[in-house]
């Protein structure tokens, strides 16, 4: 799983009743875009994650302007 700063990490809920979580990747700590990633959730919470098989990286579009961190 490879990602770049600005991509989104979608973590699917593991059980019924748990919603999917979306976080913005703010730092890539692995080599060549590999995990672990530092992510920021909508509520401002930041976490260091090594995504599992229940996660998907949604790449930002190349025409999307950069967003401030």
Rg value, the chain, Cα: 12
Largest CA distance in the chain: 36
> What local confidence, expressed as pLDDT, does residue 2 receive?
93
pTM, 2 dp: 0.79
Q: Give the tens place of pLDDT for each residue, 45-64.
A: 999 999 989 899 999 877 66
Q: What is the dihedral angle through the alpha carbons of 8, 66, 45, 57, rounded to the nearest 10 degrees?
A: 10
pLDDT in tens, 29-42: 999 999 999 999 99
CB 55 within 8 A of CB 11: yes
């Amino acid at each position: 799983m490879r990602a770049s700063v600005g991509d989104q990490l979608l973590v699917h809920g593991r059980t019924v009743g748990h919603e999917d979580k979306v976080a913005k990747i703010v730092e890539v700590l692995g080599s060549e875009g590999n995990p672990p990633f530092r992510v920021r959730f909508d509520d401002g919470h930041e976490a260091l994650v090594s995504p599992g098989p229940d996660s998907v990286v949604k790449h930002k579009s190349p025409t999307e302007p950069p967003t401030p961190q």
